[in-house]
């Protein structure tokens, strides 16, 4: 029964969301599908230009199927299921249509719409005998509106003494809430000292001021230096309880007090009288926090003479007020350009092109932004070459020329996804309003003559500057337990410190990445408290392609009971056969309550240690081991272990504090040269995902010059366990490099078939001396997402000893593991992608190198740093740390490591070319496979195959019901069936088909004519009964006279596994397809599997028999005259010959 409680909670939560819509009583628009205005059923949805305020439509949502009281699409339920980021906080309008894309008025139904509540249709309000249709809805959301420039500073508020002055800016939106931030800024101003005697200076001898100094969480601070604004120097120091006394301060004077403590920013407060001769004050101090950038400068393209503005913003404590700007690494003159968050350049010249970055400063430290590139075009210089670049797509196998030994490719062209110059007047804005990009201007239709049919194709004929599609970085994934792989259900999701939603019952999550974000720091908090708070820095594709992550959560260790009156020691590390890595020592009386009062009694302590000697623990380690160094740059750390501390009173949910606590690390476990002296203790900032230093370590061991073997030497440090609970034993490592990795669609490694959105992970390993293939521990890990030019991963490396550091590199796409190039019996430079002799020095070995039965999903290398002046090592795949730009821009001909997709038995062909990893390559055309560049709906049909062989199943997708596309091809999809390990002679294929629905003009739906045909000698033996009934109820029927195929008009409703149809809608085409395939393999509507389950969730079944063995030429000559056999061979060759002339094709390697 207990196992059903999470599901019950989900049902109750969803019911509560929907009940909010049922009980709504607001006046609504009746019988129309748009809350703002009525539409004729054949009218398209209102365009952006029809609205007064800048706005756009969201994706379509459908969370409720009609039943019971009606159909309900409440905004609260949509935010719950789809994630809060998918709909803006204050929608402007709401549109509803049936799943047949009709407006409510067209079907004669009365509905209710409210942009702040959602949509509902009640069966009791419909005409007699009618029930509500199934509706989906979308919302109109305002675009981000920017502030105007700051106005001048106003006059000082006082003529003498300290005062303040103001300046303002305005928001062009309907109200100031439409713009993030504040419209008013305050600055201190000082005038000459006012004459006369004030109570602060002259004093009241019989009066006293009582005060305290505390942290923002209420913890008392001892040793704080307290001063009175009007008196120089320190007037008091806080005691162990944070209290202080200052005699002679007038009770009615409202004295201004300030306090300072090392590690905290100064604080001030005004005293208030609590009697005739005494006053009280509480001064709150906030811990110093290094600056952290929340907005980086963005790359821009401008014409000569135009203006440009770069923006940079950092947070911290204190808030950074001083910024420095750099051009190509050179500091710009502050007198000319200022030291604020904006850098404005006017009348641009060619020499001002290049890289720009900022640095933010405060007393807590400094931080450096990423580099933005400024391109300055000469007047009349085109930003977008009208001639398309080469882009090769693979043609179907039966479109190959006679005698070809490999696949044939067709050049369909592409337009580079590069920005065009912004408007001339956009120089004062941080973002380019109405930004434009190089995109397709014109397509041309061609025909390819294949074996028995003509294949239509559209190729890019001309490129030009068009309005950019807004990039929406999307991250989807699943959170599971690292030890059992069970999903982390209903875990709270924090973006930084802000709660943004929950994981689903299956542990799934979806995040839309803000456009200005460079580091996506996400925390998953287990509602049951069984897992350590999981902090992750998730890589994403800022260009808008979706990325999938599987996040592993670390289960807390079992609680141990501590007696606070005694010293308690907790071991760090419990690997079998290994000595502990260290220990945590809690002295007597070191545990305190949240208010810092001593806690006496029994304590439940859970100390969870991530031991790097366990190579599998790297996947569950928090954050990504980065810190901000003294130059303000993100630098890597080498870890010797991480630990989480959870202290509670028995039966209580309140965390207890402790300190000072001794952390002792065994010196014999620190093997790398120089690391023993450089080891530091760090704590994790969950808001930034960065580690901050807490203390150093000192050598501690038995007295005397000699140490007996059984006595261990420790490195000892101290830490206070308060707000932060995740700690790290790390060394800043200076030996750093980047490793270049690319991913390809197949093991042909064709440059035009690189795959974007692949998550590549590099784990640094510390090998045993002389045994580079036998790692002793892992030291750090990093992940990156491949783009159009691969990915560069940070790593530790060494120039003198190639095997001082090794690495394990893996790659995943959704739930699919990619394979690297083979290394048996020896790695080949042409296959691995690395030239000799550097390849031998790197020692490339795939994971199955020594054991062919081992999984071949990764490779090991020695991280040999390239030697300066060696031409064989100057062009990758390992680059020096300061050569990141060179690594990112390296051509495909330069050395790199390679991965390829294993699922090569798939083929996709689109009449209108589209690169799924580059959403900006989408072209608006009636024959586009994906009709909406902001919403991608993937549809799959599960085909069961009874027979001894795996077969290729093809779906032919053509226009079905739309008058302008009827009979015209959208595309082809091939998928090879996958063997079911549970059933012999049975396999199944998940075949994609083009979903039915609106085409790109949003005027009329098309039910795609889908024809599914297995290749070989097959016949249809069964069709899913529910699917068959649905197709009968939704005419017209598709032709079904071919017993070797299955045809249907694609359903408009998102049917589920009971029909054998799997539909997923997402903002990323790749993620939508990966999730749909996982569900299809699993045969469920919410599961995920990579193991085919052919007995559940199938749509159609074919029986295929093995083709009869063909007699050899020798046998045929024995049985028939030679002339007859030769005539037969001539006829067969004639049938196989294809018509000549394939335009713009190229033979594959």
pLDDT of 1132 = 55
pLDDT in tens, 114-153: 998 899 998 888 887 788 888 889 999 887 667 777 888 8
pLDDT in tens, 47-106: 434 566 677 888 888 877 676 788 888 888 888 777 777 888 889 899 998 877 888 988
pLDDT of 793 = 92
What Cα–Cα distance (Å) separates residue 859 from each residue in 793, 810, 848? 14, 7, 9
pLDDT in tens, 284-327: 998 888 888 888 888 888 888 888 889 888 888 888 888 999 99
Position 32 pLDDT exceeds 50: no
Residue 43 near residue 102 (C-beta atoms within 8 A): no
- Confidence band for 1148, pLDDT divided at 50, 70 and 90: very low
Distance CA 726, CA 323 (A): 31
Distance CA 448, CA 446 (A): 7
Orientation angle between helical segments 75-82 and 5-22, nearest 10 degrees: 150
Residue 492 near residue 499 (C-beta atoms within 8 A): yes
Backbone angles phi, psi at 300, to 5 degrees: -140, 155
pLDDT of 949 = 87
Query: Which range (26-30, 229-233, 449-453, 607-611) has the least confidence?
Result: 26-30
Looking at per-residue pLDDT, the higher value among 934 and 641 belongs to 641
Give the pLDDT mean for 676-687: 86
Looking at per-residue pLDDT, the higher value among 1020 and 934 belongs to 1020
Q: What is the average pLDDT value for the chain, to the nearest integer?
A: 81
List beta partners, residue 793: 739
Give the pLDDT mean for 12-22: 39
- Confidence band for 17, pLDDT divided at 50, 70 and 90: very low
Looking at per-residue pLDDT, the higher value among 16 and 996 belongs to 996
Residue 959 near residue 931 (C-beta atoms within 8 A): no
Position 37 pLDDT exceeds 60: no
Query: Which range (71-75, 954-958, 1138-1142) has the least confidence?
Result: 1138-1142
Give the pLDDT mean for 989-1003: 87
Position 161 pLDDT exceeds 80: no
Looking at per-residue pLDDT, the higher value among 320 and 194 belongs to 320
Count of Cβ atoms closer than 10 Å to residue 125 Cβ: 15
pLDDT in tens, 855-882: 888 999 999 999 988 888 989 899 998 8
Give the pLDDT mean for 1007-1024: 92
pLDDT in tens, 484-528: 889 898 899 988 888 888 888 888 888 888 766 788 889 999 988
3-state secondary structure 321-374: CEEEEEECCEECCHHHHCCCCEEEECCCCHHHCEEEEEEEEECCEEEECCCEEE
pLDDT of 970 = 93
Looking at per-residue pLDDT, the higher value among 987 and 205 belongs to 987
Distance CA 275, CA 715 (A): 54
pLDDT in tens, 756-767: 888 999 998 887
pLDDT of 1048 = 93
Query: Which range (101-105, 404-408, 779-783) has the least confidence?
Result: 404-408
Position 771 pLDDT exceeds 70: no
Q: Residue 1065 class from Cβ within 10 Å (0-12 exposed, 13-18 middle, 19+ buried)?
A: buried
Query: Which range (22-36, 365-379, 1058-1072) has the least confidence?
Result: 22-36
Most confidently modeled range among 507-511, 618-622, 792-796: 792-796
What Cα–Cα distance (Å) separates residue 892 from each residue in 594, 818, 833, 867, 898? 57, 19, 10, 22, 11
Q: Concatenate the DSSP letters of all residues of 1041-1074 into one string.
A: --TT-EEEEPPSS---GGGTEEEEEESSHHHHHH
Query: Which range (329-333, 672-676, 1122-1126) has the least confidence?
Result: 1122-1126
Give the pLDDT mean for 348-371: 90
Position 886 pLDDT exceeds 70: yes
3-state secondary structure 282-293: EEEECECEEEEE
3-state secondary structure of 1103: strand
pLDDT in tens, 546-594: 788 889 999 999 889 998 888 888 888 888 888 888 888 888 888 888 7
Peptide bond into 717 cis (omega under 30): no
Give the pLDDT mean for 1098-1116: 73
Residue 725 near residue 642 (C-beta atoms within 8 A): no
Q: What is the enclosing helix (H) or strand (E) of 396? A: none
Residue whose C-alpha is closest to residue 76's, from 68, 65, 87 = 87
Residue whose C-alpha is closest to residue 1074's, from 476, 394, 471 = 476
Distance CA 491, CA 520 (A): 18
pLDDT of 941 = 94
Region of 592 (left: φ > 0; alpha: ψ -120 to 50; beta: rest) is: beta
- Confidence band for 476, pLDDT divided at 50, 70 and 90: confident
CA dihedral 24, 30, 31, 33 (to 10 degrees): -70
Residue 506 near residue 491 (C-beta atoms within 8 A): no
In the chain, the percentage of residues whose pLDDT exceeds 70 is: 84
Residue 805 near residue 779 (C-beta atoms within 8 A): yes
Distance CA 299, CA 377 (A): 14
pLDDT of 88 = 86
pLDDT of 352 = 92
Distance CA 675, CA 528 (A): 38
Count of Cβ atoms closer than 10 Å to residue 615 Cβ: 15
Give the pLDDT mean for 191-211: 67
pLDDT in tens, 1032-1057: 888 888 887 889 999 999 998 888 88
Give the pLDDT mean for 351-355: 91
Distance CA 289, CA 319 (A): 9
């Amino acid at each position: 029964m207990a196992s059903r409680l999470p599901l019950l909670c989900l049902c109750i939560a969803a019911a509560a969301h929907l009940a909010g819509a049922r009980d709504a009583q607001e006046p609504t628009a009746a019988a129309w599908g748009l809350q703002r205005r009525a539409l004729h059923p054949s009218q398209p949805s209102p365009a952006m230009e029809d609205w007064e305020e800048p706005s756009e439509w969201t994706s379509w949502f459908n969370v409720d199927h009609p039943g019971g009281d009606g159909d309900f699409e409440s905004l609260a339920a949509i935010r719950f299921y789809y994630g809060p980021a998918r709909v803006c906080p204050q929608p402007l309008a709401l549109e509803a249509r049936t799943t047949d894309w009709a407006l409510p008025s067209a079907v004669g139904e009365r509905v209710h719409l409210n942009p702040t509540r959602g949509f509902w249709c009640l069966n009791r309000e419909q005409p007699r005998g009618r029930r509500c249709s199934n509706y989906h809805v979308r919302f109109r959301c305002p675009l981000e509106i920017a502030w105007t420039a700051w106005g001048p500073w106003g006059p000082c508020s006082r003529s003498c003494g300290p005062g303040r002055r103001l300046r303002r800016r305005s928001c062009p939106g309907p109200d100031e809430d439409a713009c993030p931030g504040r419209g008013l800024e305050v600055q201190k101003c000082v005038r000459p000292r006012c004459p006369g005697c004030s109570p602060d200076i002259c004093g009241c001898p019989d009066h006293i001021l009582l005060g305290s100094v505390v942290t923002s969480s209420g913890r008392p601070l001892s040793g704080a230096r307290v001063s009175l604004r009007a008196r120089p120097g320190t007037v008091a120091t806080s005691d162990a309880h944070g209290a202080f006394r200052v005699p002679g301060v007038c009770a009615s004077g409202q004295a201004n007090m300030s306090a300072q403590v090392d590690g905290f920013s100064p604080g001030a407060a005004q005293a208030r009288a609590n009697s005739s001769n005494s006053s009280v004050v509480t001064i709150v101090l906030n811990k110093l926090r290094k600056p952290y950038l929340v907005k980086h400068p963005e790359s821009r393209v401008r014409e000569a003479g135009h203006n440009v503005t770069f923006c940079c913003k950092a947070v911290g404590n204190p808030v950074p007020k001083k910024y420095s700007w750099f051009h190509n690494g050179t500091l710009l003159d502050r007198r000319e350009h200022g030291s604020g968050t904006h850098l404005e350049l006017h009348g641009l010249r060619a020499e001002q092109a290049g890289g720009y970055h900022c640095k933010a400063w405060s007393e807590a430290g400094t931080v450096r932004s990423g580099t933005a590139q400024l391109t300055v075009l000469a007047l009349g210089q085109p930003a977008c070459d009208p001639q398309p670049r080469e882009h090769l797509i693979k043609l179907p196998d039966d479109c190959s020329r006679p005698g070809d030994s490999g696949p044939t490719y067709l050049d369909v062209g592409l337009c580079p996804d590069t920005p065009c110059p912004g408007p001339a007047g956009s120089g004062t804005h941080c973002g380019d309003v109405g930004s434009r990009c190089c995109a397709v201007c014109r397509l041309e239709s061609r025909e390819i003559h294949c074996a028995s049919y003509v294949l239509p194709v559209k190729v890019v004929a001309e490129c030009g500057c068009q309005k950019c599609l807004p990039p929406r970085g999307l991250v989807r994934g699943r959170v599971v337990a690292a030890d059992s792989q069970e999903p982390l259900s209903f875990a709270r999701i924090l973006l930084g410190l802000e709660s943004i939603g929950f994981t689903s019952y299956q542990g799934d999550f979806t995040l839309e990445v803000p456009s200005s974000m460079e580091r996506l720091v996400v925390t998953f908090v287990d509602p049951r408290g069984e897992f350590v708070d999981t902090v992750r820095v998730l890589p994403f594709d800022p260009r808008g392609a979706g990325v999938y992550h599987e996040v592993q959560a670390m289960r807390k260790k079992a609680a141990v009971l501590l007696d606070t009156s005694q010293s308690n020691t907790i071991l760090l590390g419990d690997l079998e056969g290994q000595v502990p890595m260290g220990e945590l020592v809690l002295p007597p009386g070191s545990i305190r309550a949240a208010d810092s009062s001593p806690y006496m009694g029994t304590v439940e302590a859970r100390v969870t240690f991530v031991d790097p000697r366990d190579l599998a623990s790297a996947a569950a380690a928090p954050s990504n081991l980065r810190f901000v160094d003294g130059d303000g740059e993100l630098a890597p750390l080498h870890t010797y272990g991480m630990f989480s501390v959870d202290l509670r009173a028995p039966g209580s949910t309140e965390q207890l504090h402790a300190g000072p606590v001794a952390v002792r690390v065994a010196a014999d476990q620190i093997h790398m040269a120089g690391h023993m002296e450089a080891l530091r203790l760090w704590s994790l900032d969950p808001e930034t995902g960065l580690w901050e230093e807490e203390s150093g370590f000192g050598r501690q061991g038995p007295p005397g010059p000699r140490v007996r073997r059984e006595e261990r030497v420790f490195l000892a440090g101290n830490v206070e366990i308060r707000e932060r609970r995740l700690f790290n034993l790390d060394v800043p490592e200076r030996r750093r490099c980047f490793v270049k990795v690319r991913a390809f669609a197949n093991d042909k490694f064709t440059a035009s078939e690189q795959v974007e959105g692949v998550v590549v992970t590099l784990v640094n390993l510390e090998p045993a001396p002389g045994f580079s293939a036998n790692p002793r521990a892992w030291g750090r890990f990093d992940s990156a997402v491949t783009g159009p030019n691969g990915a560069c991963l940070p790593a530790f490396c060494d120039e003198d000893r190639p095997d001082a550091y090794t690495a394990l590199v893996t790659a995943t796409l959704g739930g699919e593991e990619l394979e690297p190039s083979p290394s048996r019996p020896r790695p080949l430079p042409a296959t691995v992608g690395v030239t000799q002799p550097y390849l031998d020095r790197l020692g490339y070995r795939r994971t199955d190198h020594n054991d062919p039965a081992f999984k071949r999903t990764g490779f090991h290398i020695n991280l040999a740093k390239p030697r300066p002046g060696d031409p064989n090592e100057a062009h990758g795949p390992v680059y020096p740390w300061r050569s990141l730009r060179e690594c990112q821009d390296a051509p495909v001909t330069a050395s790199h490591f390679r991965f390829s997709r294993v699922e090569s038995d798939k083929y996709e062909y689109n009449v209108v070319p589209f690169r799924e990893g580059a959403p900006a390559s989408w072209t608006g055309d009636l024959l586009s496979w994906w009709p909406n560049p902001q919403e991608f709906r993937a549809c799959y049909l599960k085909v069961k195959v009874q027979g001894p062989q795996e077969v290729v199943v093809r779906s032919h997708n053509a226009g079905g019901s739309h008058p302008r596309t009827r009979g015209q091809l959208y595309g082809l999809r091939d998928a090879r069936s996958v063997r079911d390990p549970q059933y012999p002679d049975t396999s199944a294929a998940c075949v994609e088909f083009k979903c039915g629905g609106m085409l790109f003009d949003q005027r009329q739906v098309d039910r795609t004519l889908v024809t599914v045909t297995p290749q070989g000698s097959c016949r249809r033996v069964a069709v899913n009964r529910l699917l068959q009934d649905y197709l009968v109820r939704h005419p017209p029927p598709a032709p079904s006279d071919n017993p070797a195929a299955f045809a249907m008009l694609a359903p408009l409703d998102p049917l589920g596994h009971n029909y054998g149809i799997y539909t997923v809608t997402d903002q990323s085409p790749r993620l939508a397809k990966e999730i749909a395939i996982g569900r299809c393999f699993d045969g469920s509507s919410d599961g995920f599997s990579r193991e085919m389950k052919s007995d559940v969730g199938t749509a159609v079944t074919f029986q295929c028999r093995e083709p009869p063995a063909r007699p050899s030429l020798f046998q045929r000559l024995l049985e028939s005259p030679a002339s007859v056999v030769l005539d037969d061979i001539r006829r067969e060759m004639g049938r196989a010959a294809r018509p000549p002339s394939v335009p713009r094709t190229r033979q594959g390697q």
